[in-house]
Amino acid sequence: MILDIILLMVFAVGPAIILHEYAHGWVAYRCGDTTAKDMGRLTLNPIKHIDPIGSILVPGVLFLLHSPIFFGWAKPVPVNFRRLKNLRLGMILVATAGPLTNVILAYGYIWLYKLQIFSPLSHVWQWAILFNIVICVFNLMPIPPLDGSRIVMGLLPRQLAYYYSKLEPFGLIIVVVLLQMGMLKFLYPLMSILANWLGIEL
C-alpha cells in the first residue's frame, strides 16, 4: 500500500499538479510577466511546487479511503496579471494553460494504459487519468481564484470583471460550501464528457 502511494505521487499526482502550475508560469512569462521566473518558480523542480497538504496528505488519504473522487493541489505559481502585454487575452491564456496541460497529460496516460506500457503500473495510469480529468474540470469552475474565474474575467466587461474579482477572498469558502451541498455531483457529467472526448469512459 505504501509503495502504491509512492508510485501514485511520483507518476500521477506530481506531474499533474507541477506541470499544471508550471504551464501557468510559462505562459505568463511568454505573455510578458516574469514574476514566476524572478521568484524561482518557473521550474520543474517538485520541491518548489509541492504543498505538503494538497500534494501529499489529501491525495494519499483519498487513495487509502478508495475515494471515487481524487484531487489535490500545488503551491500556486505567482502571476502578476498587470504585467501581461495584453491583460484580457493574457489572463485567458494563462488560466487556460493549466487545465489544458491536464487534458494533454490525461491523453498521454490513456495511451500508456491502452498500450500496456509498463503494465505493472496500469493501476497508477488509471488513477492518473482520473486525477488529471478531475483537476481540469475542478479548476475550470468559475469561482475565484480558480482558473475558470480568470477566463470569465478576461471575457467580462471591465466594470463587471472588477466586481466579480471581489469574490476572490471568499472563493475557498464558496468551494467548501458547494462541496458540502454535493456540488461534485454537478461536475460528474462534465468529467464524463471530457473522458468520452478523450476516448474513455469513467
> What is the per-residue pLDDT across 49-75, written as a single tens digit (0 to 9) for each?
888 887 777 777 777 777 666 667 788
pLDDT bin (cut points 50, 70, 90) of residue 90 is very high
Average pLDDT of span 16-30:
95
In a domain? residue 68: yes
C-alpha cell at 126: 488509471
Average pLDDT of span 34-56:
87
Residue 53 CB neighbour total at 10 angstroms: 11
Q: Domain of residue 24: give its range.
A: 2-197
Burial class (CB in 10 A: 0-12, 13-18, 19+), 126: middle
21 catalytically annotated: yes
In a domain? residue 117: yes
Burial class (CB in 10 A: 0-12, 13-18, 19+), 93: buried
Work out the mean pLDDT of the chain and round it to a whole number: 89
**Residue range 132-154, pLDDT digits in tens:** 999 999 999 999 989 999 999 99
In a domain? residue 165: yes
Residue 15 CB neighbour total at 10 angstroms: 22
In the predicted model, is pLDDT for residue 9 greater than 90?
no
Kindly report whether the peptide bond that precedes residue 15 is cis, defined as omega within 30 degrees of 0.
no
In the predicted model, is pLDDT for residue 130 greater than 70?
yes
- CA torsion 62-65-67-70 (nearest 10°) is 20
pLDDT for 173: 86
Average pLDDT of span 23-40:
95
Pairwise CA distance, residues 12 & 127, whole Å: 7
Q: Do the beta carbons of residue 134 and residue 191 sit within 8 Å?
A: yes
Average pLDDT of span 167-174:
87
Pairwise CA distance, residues 134 & 117, whole Å: 23
In the predicted model, is pLDDT for residue 123 greater than 80?
yes
In a domain? residue 181: yes
pLDDT bin (cut points 50, 70, 90) of residue 34 is very high
In a domain? residue 136: yes
Helix (H, G, I), strand (E, B) or coil at 33: coil
C-alpha cell at 175: 468551494
pLDDT for 33: 95
DSSP states of 42-82 as a string? SS--GGGT--IIIIIIHHHHHHHTT-S------PPPP--GG
In a domain? residue 202: no
Pairwise CA distance, residues 160 & 121, whole Å: 48
For the whole prediction, is pTM greater than 0.75?
A: yes
Could you tell me where the DSSP H helices lie in 115-170? 122-139, 147-155, 158-165
pLDDT for 68: 63
In a domain? residue 43: yes
Task: Exactly one of 8, 21, 25, 70 is catalytic; name it.
Answer: 21
pLDDT for 185: 77
- Give me the number of domains the chain comprises: 1
Which percentage of the chain shows pLDDT scores above 70? 96
DSSP-based helix, strand, coil % in the chain, nearest 5? 70, 0, 30
